[in-house]
Structure 1
Amino acid sequence: MDILDCDALDLSTLLEARELSAVELMRATLERITAVNGDVNAIVALRDGDRLLEEARAMDQTERRGWLHGIPVAVKDLAHVEGIVSSMGSPLQARKVATQDSVFVERMRRAGALFIGKTNTPEFGLGSHTFNEVYGATKNPYDMTRSAGGSSGGAAAALATRMVCVADGSDMMGSLRNPAAWNNVYGFRPSFGRVPADPEGEVFLQQMSTNGPMGRSPADIAALLEVMTGWDIRQPHGLLPQMFLDRIRTNVNGLRIGWLSDWGGAYPMEAGVLDTCESALGVFEQLGCEVVELPAPFEAAKLWNAWCTLRSWSIAGTLSPLHANLASRGQLKEEAIWEIERGKALSAMAVHRASVVRSDWFRRAVELFADVDILMMPSAQVWPFAVGDRYPKEIAGRTMDTYHRWMEIVVPVSLLGLPCMSIPAGFGPNGLPMGMQLIGPPRGDLRVLQIAQAWHEATNWPGKHPPRPAHSLRLH
């Protein structure tokens, strides 16, 4: 067995027992990157290999810091790693070297992670397709002509091809879930406040995006979440640390799953997506779960309008200074300009009305969880599309009126900050992967992780169906 096929926790165990050295793991990782990354383009800002091997050698000679000790990690290029370029996919920041770690990155460093570089992302994380003018596009390892998704597309593709064994991502509008679905891996959006953002800019009102872990198993995700999680005293919102890994295995027999399908027809679906997901539901029934099909619990149009308002308001608040400067405005992607200008035109009462809709949806969601243990629906509405396209212009004959409308199915979760795991659902007749969203109640992160782990032990899609580049390369 190729050592890079091992899950992160298994590698950690081998490193701790000294059956594997950090140098051996780093050398295998660098060889895999050399062999695969030229085609996939998932790892960017890769550090010097000799320097990385020196750091790995030092790890072999020092006391173990934590479970990540000696494990190579690449951080999504929206977060900061001291000494590495933080481009955020923007030409405006292409030479900006971070002077300190982001909050969760510093925690990963304390746990022993060896940072090798970054994972690719679209400009400022806007759009569920990973391409930018700094590094180019990340390709889907299951079909190099197609998108890896986004905005954590680089992380998902790197996981699928075994260039890393565990990764971080972030999620505002499905950015942990869509790429996980399209790369046959797991992506977990934790409850809002579970993983702190950086204490900069406005920190009271912006509750839309969150950082989170990705992996090829829910157990790896639980372990990384324990490292990333915990309140940061410099920020007003947050949750206290919680342990997940030691409780991740449990009997799911008797659990009720609410299947939301396509939200009563509100979300158009490309042919085969629903068939693939509904076929996968049978595994949960084999595990003893009861699957109940639910009608649309809230008006989709209200959710979409509230989401667009709050998203544009949030993005404008962050990126307006770049838009105000004519020189920097000319280097912004058109989707960023659209969001900023839309956000700047909003009134305070428009934002308030959108938040009222969000509040109404939260109360309705709480009612749903009184009857079911978990909610489920597909992670995406389309299969991975052509890597040269910016975004799908239509789905099943329905025209998409914005650059992100094709990902509307992730909005119900994003609006409320609910814990949600994208789990691999299998492959369509086209040979492309798809995923499903496991949606938990407020602060129900552990429940989501437990059900995902039971699914993984019954299916192991990432282990049984790696992409060809990972499957064909044998490193010794």
Structure 2
Amino acid sequence: MVGSDQELVRATACAVVDKLKAGEITPLDLLDVLERRIGQVDGKVNALPTLCFDRARDHARALMKKPAGERGLLAGLPLPIKDLTNVEGVRTTQGSPIYRDTISARSDIVVEHLEANGGVIYAKSNTPEFGAGANTFNEVFGPTLNPWDLTRSAAGSSGGAAVALATGTAWLAHGSDMGGSLRNPASFCGIVGMRPSIGRVAHSPAFKIDRNLTVHGPMARNIEDAALLLDAMSGEHPADPLSLPVLPTSFLSAARSGERPKRIAYSPDLGITPVDPEVAAITRKAAERFAEAGVIVEEAHPDLREAHECFHVLRAFDFAISKAALLRTKRDQLKPEVIWNIEEGLKLSVEQLERAEAQRVAMAARTLEFFKTYDLLLAPATIVAPFPVENRYVAECAGVKFDNYVQWLAIVYAITLACCPALSLPCGFTASGLPVGLQIVAPSRGEAQLLAGAKMLEDILGIRGTTPIDPRPAK
């Protein structure tokens, strides 16, 4: 099998699943390939700091006792889980020294769902402490480096997952997203990261039964593979009261449907943020290529003017309800940004929460109205190209200084607030060879049209297949 390692590493997830279903390879073969590939490249990028190959092989052997047709949608395909999410019997640190040695007693619903659909978990992917801040570094494992330039950030918080995909140590990867955590690292690493609609992917409730700023979603190297993983992740569960049932038509078939949007909108800034001029130019050029297929392309965006205030309040509230106990008992082990977030939440008044929730309702309603005119909304997925990894966050852009460490993420968190599914599609490279992602947004529960439109543009752009790469030193 070693001779064909490179061929398998470069194969799409859909192609590998076809080989599994045909009996051409086994899940154990794939785990061997991954273990070798991780040994070759992960030491340079630090994407998958926790490995659980013994558990994976036990799971693979149990799966192989079933007939090939009964092994689920993923048929034994291995994938990593983000280190914020519990996998039974595996260390889950959440990137925090507080949980450095914590072994999960039970898997999250999303992991149970993936394993029931034939996924084999072999690693945990690196994440910032509690997923806070879109740069993947923590005190437990250190930074994850961008394989396109090892001096650059991989973004976050699903940075380890994105880098694993970009370097060929994963075919598919699980991630989660509050303020762009699936979309930002996808943009920085030249892969696809998709935030689904609220409830599309069931997960175990924690701290609040209806927390919905954060959702779980798929990451992959191309649109079809992302759709396959979304199919394997989707479905309702009684423990998650927001979860949605599986749709009659698969997301993979939607991606392959050839359905095309009639009219799309592009905005360089959604009216709320500065953007690096090079990133704006690359994303605009990519969006305008929809016109080659007869799609009307116009510059427009919904009114999202309250996004900064609204997200600041709702994110702070989420940190307060989920982390206030840690602030009281483990303050000395929390990074400054997390302490700030929790304290901002604890200072909130009911009036501030009332205002923020009303703002979110208004933005979601205006965005839904916007989608009566446009099938898709396109914008940069990040406002800058990958920045030096030693910078904890982006402090300014295009001459504008930000008020706090999350404000540079407005172009993605505004879409979170509007309750829309969205993804980052690789759309080009900067003059220095760094990837740029195009954010594509659809109306709530519009994943099928999102995937179909994104696949169409992916075909036009012709960038699919640029990953995986071997890690590259700075030029």
TM norm. shorter chain > 0.5 = yes
1:92 aligns with 2:98: yes
Matched-pair contact (CA < 8 Å) for 1:253–1:288: no
In structure 2, the residue matched to 1:379 is: 381
Matched-pair contact (CA < 8 Å) for 2:147–2:166: yes
SS at match of 1:13: helix
In structure 2, the residue matched to 1:399 is: 401
Equivalent in 25, 28, 31 of residue 26 of structure 1: 31
Residues 451, 299 of structure 1: alpha-carbon distance in 2 compared, 3 angstrom cutoff: closer
Which amino acid in structure 2 is aligned with residue 244 of structure 1? F
Consecutive unaligned residues in structure 2, runs of 5 or more: 1-5
Q: Distance in 1 between matches of 2:380 and 2:261?
A: 22
Work out the number of aligned pairs and report it. 463
TM (norm. structure 1) is: 0.93
Q: Distance in 1 between matches of 2:56 and 2:208?
A: 36
Matched-pair contact (CA < 8 Å) for 1:254–1:288: no
In structure 1, the residue matched to 2:242 is: 237
How far did residue 231 of structure 1 move?
Answer: 1.9
How far did residue 365 of structure 1 move?
Answer: 0.8
Q: Distance in 1 between matches of 2:282 and 2:408?
A: 18
How far did residue 356 of structure 1 move?
Answer: 0.8
Which amino acid in structure 2 is aligned with residue 6 of structure 1? A
SS at match of 1:149: coil
In structure 1, the residue matched to 2:369 is: 367
Which amino acid in structure 1 is aligned with residue 447 of structure 2? D
1:114 aligns with 2:120: yes
Q: Distance in 1 between matches of 2:226 and 2:364?
A: 26
Equivalent in 40, 48, 70 of residue 45 of structure 2: 40
Q: Distance in 1 between matches of 2:98 and 2:471?
A: 33
The C-alpha deviation readout for 1:297-343, integer Å capped at 9, x for no partner, is 3253x221011001101111100010111xx1110111111011110
Q: Distance in 1 between matches of 2:372 and 2:160?
A: 37
Matched-pair contact (CA < 8 Å) for 1:222–1:244: yes
In structure 2, the residue matched to 1:304 is: 308
Residues 55, 153 of structure 1: alpha-carbon distance in 2 compared, 3 angstrom cutoff: same
Residues 230, 56 of structure 1: alpha-carbon distance in 2 compared, 3 angstrom cutoff: closer
1:174 aligns with 2:172: no
Matched-pair contact (CA < 8 Å) for 1:184–1:461: no
Q: Distance in 2 between matches of 1:282 and 1:319?
A: 43
1:236-385 maps to which residues of 2 (within 5 A)?
Answer: 236-242=241-247, 243-253=250-260, 255-264=262-271, 266-294=272-300, 296-298=301-303, 300=305, 302-325=306-329, 328-385=330-387
Fraction of identical pairs, as percent: 37
Q: Distance in 2 between matches of 1:251 and 1:110?
A: 30
Which amino acid in structure 1 is aligned with residue 311 of structure 2? W
1:128 aligns with 2:134: yes
Q: Distance in 2 between matches of 1:281 and 1:391?
A: 27
Q: Distance in 1 between matches of 2:343 and 2:384?
A: 28
SS at match of 2:52: coil
SS at match of 1:272: helix
Q: Distance in 1 between matches of 2:82 and 2:315?
A: 21
How far did residue 74 of structure 1 move?
Answer: 1.0
Consecutive unaligned residues in structure 1, runs of 5 or more: 471-476
How far did residue 345 of structure 1 move?
Answer: 0.7
Which amino acid in structure 2 is aligned with residue 169 of structure 1? G
The C-alpha deviation readout for 1:359-418, integer Å capped at 9, x for no partner, is 111121121111111111000011111111111221111112111111111122111221
Q: Distance in 2 between matches of 1:230 and 1:323?
A: 35
TM (norm. structure 2) is: 0.94
SS at match of 1:406: helix
How far did residue 73 of structure 1 move?
Answer: 1.2
Which amino acid in structure 1 is aligned with residue 215 of structure 2? T
1:193 aligns with 2:195: no
How far did residue 443 of structure 1 move?
Answer: 1.2
How far did residue 253 of structure 1 move?
Answer: 4.6
Over aligned residue pairs, what C-alpha RMSD do you find?
A: 1.7
Matched-pair contact (CA < 8 Å) for 2:194–2:421: yes
